[in-house]
Structure 1
Amino acid sequence: MNLLNYLRNKSFWLIDFLKGGNIKHHLGEISYILSNPNSSDALKIRKKHLEGLLIHAAQSTPFYFDYKNVTDINVFPVIRKTVIQENFKDFQSIPYTKKQNYKVSTSGSTGIPFFLFQNKNKRNRNTADVLYFSGQSNFKIGNRLYELEVWRAHNKKGRFKSWLQNVIQFDISKLTDSRILSFINLLKRSKQEKNILGFASSYEQICQYLDRNNLNLSDLNINSVIANSEYLNYYTKTSLSKHFNTPVLSRYSSEEVGIIAQQTSNSTEHFVINHASYHVELLDLDKDKPVKPGEFGRIVITDLFNYSMPIIRYDTGDIAKLMVLENGQTKFEKIEGRKMDLIYDTKGNIVSSFVVYTKFYKHYKLLKQYQFIQQDEKEYEIKLNVFDTFPYEEELIESIKSDFGNDAKVTITYVDEIPLLASGKRKKVVNNYNS
């Protein structure tokens, strides 16, 4: 760490100290719980946070008034985004409406605007979560961070703040070859230690460019690359790791809640669940009952620190598979994306989105973009945006049928562009049949 970055680091913690050291306290607790997840002290702290949140919600939040004196979370209803939207005022804690709150919003993968309010302590907890999981990915406060996202007036930092935090905000709304080259040149010009945070789809496009041009960028002093907001497929994870000579890790988070789980330098394939800040459940796809380890279920979370708008048993709409280690620790083995985008073979069995991604690996040098859509029970459409021609239609269709069924009807449509969602993401797998 150079002198200026060292001073950035010390300044951050000095400011936190002068404000009462709240972030440092949160970070210490998160680190202890996630390092000792099944210790009696860690379980006691988690229970205290959960019961405190439930009691607060039942006493101060109209939506939960019927649950006074209830500390069994299983009694509370599972809620979805639409429930919060339709009862927004009832989800606001009455005493916190008079306090300083912060609005957090997202357009979401569906493009539907959604926002919540957070209190100051929740904001501090989120900051500490980011610091913990970033630290588990070889990042230190003060080091250079490149953020790849769709940057607009509502989310872009000012020049001074960006300099102060040593952040480079790189816009990916039009990630052409020339734009990718600009990003690579940005990386080359800086000799600092670097970390990169961005959408998985942008990494995939960068990988395709690097593969086509046989570029070696292993000496760029990159500590780690974190993918957020989207599914990180195997090709992108392995290819980018090779090109940048650094771990490529996936983060599962949302703007309105925070970091729920993440791969780390010590858990590069599976997701460490943030039990310190959330009560996390994995429920059956159709019933509000827990699934067994090894089965896919809906990710349902309770935010332990948002007292401004208590969010209890919130169905994120995403799907994961749970695994239990020998020491009893639970992790997400896989996170598949949204339930509404699960795809099925012609007999109605779930097919992992990972299977779809593998169909395109060998063709990446020919493709600018692709999208796989289930249009009906046995009908599938593949949208391709190609550089020139694509002479492998028959091979691709047969490959799809091998996993989805010989009676599958597969069509290929050529397009000039697959548009971004309002969130800046580009969906690779879509289900119009069950949406």
Structure 2
Amino acid sequence: MLSLSKGQLCFADVHGLLCGFDTMFSPSLSSHIDIRGFAEKLANNAFFVLCKDKEKVVGYIAFYENRDTKISYIPSVCVIDTYRSKGVASHMMHFLISQSHPDINTIALEVRKNNNSAIRFYQKQGFVEIEDRGEKILMNKQILHDMTEQEQKYKAFVLNDSENNMGRLVNGCDELRYLLANPEANKIFAKHNENEILTYATKFSPFYKQFEGFKSLQDFPIVSKQDLKDHWDEIAVPQLAQDSNICTKFTSGSTGTPFKMILDKYKHGRWIAGNKIFRENVGVKSHEKTVFVSETVKDKKIPQERMDRDNVYYFFMPYLDNESLTKFINDLKDQKVKTITALASIYDAIARWIASGVAPEWEGDFIAVFSVSEPLKETTRKIISEYFRCPMYVFYANEENGVLGVEDGSGNGLRANNVDFTLEVLKMDSDEPAEDGEIGRLVITDYFNKAFPIIRYENGDLLSVVHNDDGSLYIKEIVGRLADTLYTTDGRIVPYFDGISFMEEFMDIRQFQLIQEDYTHFRWLLNTDNHSYEDTIINHCKKLFGKDSEWQIEYVSEIPKLRSGKFRMTVCNIKK
């Protein structure tokens, strides 16, 4: 897995870097410059973007940042031979731009006139020829004034937020960005924010008033999603629950328990900020053209105007056959999409399709790819990263809370969002804290939802974390849910989440499980007292799985949990 970083290097590291890359240049670097003198200059004045494959540096960009002239100048760029034509240089350039100081509005560099491949590359990145300098050409790229689609839409977003929202979204992004970069400072803010939400809840939430004399977070009970549903009216803060600015989120949940969550305006802003900043951390700026592959979001009927405004589009892909996938790839290229987010099971299907040899060559320009909701196979990551020529990151989030953690390219796992949440990991057989690296039950306390305080919420996920000395928190491993692949009656794969996501609107179904016996026969197990949904469920399923599919619905009092503590939402008994 490739990772990116920005920073300054000592002389020894710079000298070693240049010597190691010497023969990668044509002509060699040492044939026309004093490497030692060049290394001293870079160590004293330059920043570096390093691209690593594990611990091996496979590419770099050296640059000087002059805030007075507002120019970053690049004196040296190189990628080792075996990693060329894989998007490494492009990804490093995107990362450099995303990490540039706000005062910088131009990136400049020189390139030899006879280096046609380099000239074409820089032109593709948006650089233009400025001056003929004999054997070289001076090229530059305006990163602020020559505004891209992303920059134009982001500028409109900032203006709208300032005029209509008192700048809350931008301020939330700035705060989250700062505290993630300064984990020592976040320790102070986190302690304050945790105490504030606990005090607030005991004053204004009927359910939590009984804990008014609390001494610590551990004085509060651990609650499940079912507990939140059963005590919904008691937990919700009456003064805010009926507010016209309340945002409502629905989730079917990894445990098969449909659930509705309300977010007050400020919490909704933090929810959005988390999505923006954790993507920004790996080079994907706010308002880069993004595609979400999700039937769930499509069902929410997001207006086209909002998608155009946010530069975020939702792609409905119920089937994963050759025709559907080919159209999907061509649409991504034609629409100049920069990043996609989808379920790991969808990427599994895409990876199998790519490996079969029938996928068209990728001609787009991705910054990154994100996988959500399910465990990501490393073989899938490798195939997808190589095909799209960009890194692939695990994105861990839920509807009711927001972003919980995202891989940051450091190799440490997922950078956890301990800015917006207290994330406890408790032992499997007790409520004692698990050790670092030990798999345990995730328990979430949300600092910012004052309409519906979420305190010590056990969401059903099992994972392990590592606390770093600087205050940063990383999720090392997520034990994902177990779910079988589902098929239509004519044998096409249906992502398991697409088969069950429509159930989220049926709030009084406590649990559900979909069982596929063979290509024609299906069973729903429903834990509910309401038997009025049968026709709606069967009609929806016939449209998705096939008109000739046959359905049976059984009502049960409980669906047993797996040994992991989770429910199995789908079961496929087809022997492949």
TM-score calculated relative to the size of structure 2: 0.58
Asked if structure 1 preserves the Cα contact closer than 8 Å seen for 2:404 and 2:417, the reply is yes
| Separation in 2, partners of 1:334, 1:295 | 9
| Structure 1 residue 229 displacement after superposition | 1.8
- Equivalent in the alignment of 2:260: 115
Asked if structure 1 preserves the Cα contact closer than 8 Å seen for 2:439 and 2:464, the reply is yes
Q: Give the AA of the match of 2:305.
A: F
Deviations 1:162-198 (A, max 9, x none): 22222332112222221111101112223x3511111
| Separation in 2, partners of 1:101, 1:368 | 37
Which residue, out of 265, 268, 272, partners 2:415? 272
Q: Secondary structure at the match of 2:271?
A: helix
**Cα pair distance change 1:11/1:75, threshold 3 Å:** same
Q: CA RMSD in A?
A: 3.3
**Cα pair distance change 1:76/1:29, threshold 3 Å:** same
- Equivalent in the alignment of 1:29: 175
Deviations 1:349-394 (A, max 9, x none): xxxx9xx99xxxxxxxx996899xxxxxxxxxxxxx9xxxxxxxxx
**Cα pair distance change 1:152/1:73, threshold 3 Å:** closer
| Separation in 1, partners of 2:323, 2:523 | 19
| Separation in 2, partners of 1:244, 1:431 | 41
Structure 1: unaligned runs, 5 residues or longer? 342-352, 358-365, 372-384, 386-412, 425-429
| Structure 1 residue 245 displacement after superposition | 0.8
- Equivalent in the alignment of 2:379: 235
Greater RCO (CA < 8 Å, at least 6 residues apart): 1
Q: Give the AA of the match of 1:179.
A: S
| Separation in 2, partners of 1:278, 1:118 | 15
Asked if structure 1 preserves the Cα contact closer than 8 Å seen for 2:326 and 2:359, the reply is no
Q: Secondary structure at the match of 1:168?
A: strand
Asked if structure 2 preserves the Cα contact closer than 8 Å seen for 1:145 and 1:166, the reply is yes
Deviations 1:29-65 (A, max 9, x none): 111211121x1x3211111111100000001111111
Deviations 1:125-162 (A, max 9, x none): 11111110121132223321111011576423222222
- Equivalent in the alignment of 1:283: 426
Q: Give the AA of the match of 2:474.
A: K
**Cα pair distance change 1:151/1:334, threshold 3 Å:** closer
Asked if structure 2 preserves the Cα contact closer than 8 Å seen for 1:9 and 1:141, the reply is yes
More off after superposition, 67-76 vs 115-124:
67-76
Deviations 1:50-109 (A, max 9, x none): 110000000111111111142410111111011111111011113223433221111123
Q: Secondary structure at the match of 1:332?
A: strand
| Separation in 2, partners of 1:12, 1:291 | 42
Q: Are 1:136 and 2:278 counterparts?
A: no
Q: Are 1:329 and 2:472 counterparts?
A: yes
Q: Are 1:246 and 2:390 counterparts?
A: yes
- Equivalent in the alignment of 2:438: 295
Q: Give the AA of the match of 1:195.
A: T
Which residue, out of 41, 50, 68, partners 2:212? 68
**Cα pair distance change 1:311/1:244, threshold 3 Å:** same
Q: Give the AA of the match of 2:178.
A: Y
Asked if structure 2 preserves the Cα contact closer than 8 Å seen for 1:218 and 1:242, the reply is no
Q: Secondary structure at the match of 1:249?
A: strand
Which residue, out of 291, 294, 307, partners 1:162? 307
- Equivalent in the alignment of 2:4: none
**Cα pair distance change 1:293/1:182, threshold 3 Å:** same
Question: Highest CA radius of gyration, 1 or 2?
Answer: 2
Q: Give the AA of the match of 1:31.
A: R
Asked if structure 1 preserves the Cα contact closer than 8 Å seen for 2:319 and 2:492, the reply is no
Q: Secondary structure at the match of 2:223?
A: coil
Asked if structure 1 preserves the Cα contact closer than 8 Å seen for 2:320 and 2:492, the reply is no
Q: Give the AA of the match of 1:29.
A: E
- Equivalent in the alignment of 1:223: 367
Sequence identity, in percent? 25
More off after superposition, 209-218 vs 246-255:
209-218
Structure 2: unaligned runs, 5 residues or longer? 1-142, 486-490, 497-515, 526-536, 542-558, 568-576
| Separation in 2, partners of 1:183, 1:315 | 37
| Structure 1 residue 414 displacement after superposition | 6.8
Residue pairs, 1:129-208, within 5 angstroms: 129-151=274-296, 154-190=299-335, 192=336, 194-208=338-352
- Tell me the number of residue pairs that the alignment of Structure 1 and Structure 2 aligns: 365
| Separation in 1, partners of 2:285, 2:562 | 45
| Structure 1 residue 307 displacement after superposition | 0.3
Q: Secondary structure at the match of 1:267?
A: coil
Asked if structure 2 preserves the Cα contact closer than 8 Å seen for 1:216 and 1:243, the reply is no
Q: Give the AA of the match of 1:82.
A: Q
Which residue, out of 88, 99, 106, partners 2:251? 106
| Structure 1 residue 28 displacement after superposition | 1.5
Q: Give the AA of the match of 1:206.
A: I
TM-score calculated relative to the size of structure 1: 0.76
Asked if structure 1 preserves the Cα contact closer than 8 Å seen for 2:345 and 2:495, the reply is no
**Cα pair distance change 1:294/1:310, threshold 3 Å:** same
| Separation in 2, partners of 1:370, 1:308 | 34
Deviations 1:232-280 (A, max 9, x none): 121211110111111111111111111111112x335601010110110
